[in-house]
Amino acid sequence: MKAAVLGCGLIGKEIARDLARDGEFAATAIDVNEQALASLQGVPGVKALRADTRDGSRLRALLKDCDIVVSAVPGRIGFETLKTVIEAGKNVVDISFSPEDAQELDGLAGEQGVIAVVDCGVAPGLSHILVGRAASELDEVESVAIYVGGLPAKPVPPWNYRTVFSLRDVIEEYARPARIVRGGEIQTVDELSEVELVDFPQVGTLEAFVTDGLRSLLRTIEAHEMSEKTLRYRGHVEKMRALRDAGCFRRDAITVGEASIRPVDLTVEMLASEWKLREGEEDLTVMRVIVEGTKAGEKVTRAYDMLDRYDRERGVTSMARTTGYTATAVVRLIRDGLFTRRGVAPPEHLGMDEGCYSTLLGMLKQRGIELSATVS
């Protein structure tokens, strides 16, 4: 099969490599950044192509002969890119995490006969798949708690953080109010709030704060309580609050001398070098999903834990592994006819299908990503 990968950053380039592994796919990696494409030169089965995915007519032409698309573009252009791919009549797995609601494209995808699995990374993505699996095995869901974080293997003062995906998307996450479910009702709470300390074996005590990552779960899962929290080393959230309160995340332009600038753009530029993962530094991804409910009148708790680390042998970040391999597993589910639902589908639908769920976890295990599941 022919696959197109849109966006070749830290995660997109590993998606292209994984699809081309063992000759399964002929992958075309498309990005406007020549430096990003350079890292794929000489990779067997991968063709690097420079093009701007924001050019709709150009993109549709490039996708004409491909069988399936993975969109790994930055969130700010994710929705329009997804729309263009659907208009081109191509099945797509999307990890762009755009601020818009992808469900608005469900009608278009249905008309085009397209399978579009969105928010299909590690979180949202794998986290939602786990929630979907747990919910399908319960008569009623009472609560859902998702904890997830991509971190440097060791905290690095003063920020105790290194970025392992789009820096701008990280800042957007910190600046966006979070939707949660409380008392059965959707509520919006302040970003970087409701901090709690959570212990993780082999990692230590991390701080968790609400982020707006529930997304489609707000529609698909009926629960009395539900939240997603991002994990960081202790002390990080206090510094992010200080930047926010100082106006560093503002999107409206201000005048400095004769220049007009958005504070958030300056913040991203200033933190780019500070937060970049250094040569020799490693990362990890930690996730815990807890779903409580009832089954045959009894209270049941289903919990899933994952700790993944940097791949030293291949030089691949854990975030690229957990996000990218979730996406490529779903590509293979579509290729093999295991997931056939037309329209825009959130990842929890995959978890609700036992065949898709077990096959996907098997693919992740083959790549060294394992989850532990407990039922009490």
Percentage of residues in the chain having pLDDT higher than 70: 100
The pLDDT value recorded for residue 295 is 97
The pLDDT value recorded for residue 181 is 98
**Average pLDDT of the residues in 112-122:** 97
The pLDDT value recorded for residue 279 is 87
**Residue 262 in this model has a pLDDT that exceeds 90:** yes
In whole angstroms, give the CA distance from residue 188 to residue 311: 38
The pLDDT value recorded for residue 122 is 97
The pLDDT value recorded for residue 165 is 78
Which fold, 2-121+320-369?
Answer: Rossmann fold (3.40.50)
Handedness of CA 198, 199, 205, 211 (dihedral sign): negative
The pLDDT value recorded for residue 243 is 96
Distances (CA, A) of 289 to 243, 355, 364, 372: 29, 21, 17, 11
pLDDT, tens digit (0-9, with 9 covering 90-100), for 34-91? 988 998 989 999 999 999 999 999 999 999 999 999 999 999 999 999 999 999 999 9
**Average pLDDT of the residues in 108-124:** 97
pLDDT, tens digit (0-9, with 9 covering 90-100), for 293-352? 999 999 999 999 999 999 999 999 999 999 999 999 999 999 999 999 999 999 999 999
Give the per-residue SS3 of the chain.
CEEEEECCCCCHHHHHHHHHHHHCCEEEEEECCHHHHHCCCCCCCEEEEECCCCCHHHHHHHCCCCCEEEECCCHHHHHHHHHHHHHCCCEEEECCCCCCCHHHHHHHHHHHCCEEECCCEECCEHHHHHHHHHHHCCCEEEEEEEEEEEEECCCCCCCCCCECCCHHHHHHHHHCCEEEEECCEEEEECCCCCCEEEEECCCEEEEEEECCCCCCHHHHCCCCEEEEEEEEECCHHHHHHHHHHCCCCCCCCEEECCEEECHHHHHHHHHHHHHECCCCCCEEEEEEEEEEEEECCEEEEEEEEEEEECECCCCECHHHHHHHHHHHHHHHHHHCCCCCCCEEECCHHHHCCHHHHHHHHHHHHHCCCCEEEEEC
**Average pLDDT of the residues in 6-34:** 94
Same fold, 2-121+320-369 and 126-234+273-309: no
Q: 374 falls in which pLDDT band (50, 70, 90)?
A: very high
The pLDDT value recorded for residue 168 is 87
In whole angstroms, give the CA distance from residue 86 to residue 244: 36
Phi and psi (nearest 5°) for 32?
Answer: -85, -15
**Average pLDDT of the residues in 161-189:** 92
Task: Quote the longest CA-to-CA distance of the chain.
Answer: 68
CATH architecture of 126-234+273-309: 2-Layer Sandwich (3.30)
Q: 235 falls in which pLDDT band (50, 70, 90)?
A: very high
Mean pLDDT estimate for the chain:
95
The pLDDT value recorded for residue 156 is 87
In whole angstroms, give the CA distance from residue 124 to residue 273: 26
**Average pLDDT of the residues in 253-272:** 93
| Domain boundaries of the chain, sorted by first residue | 2-121+320-369, 126-234+273-309
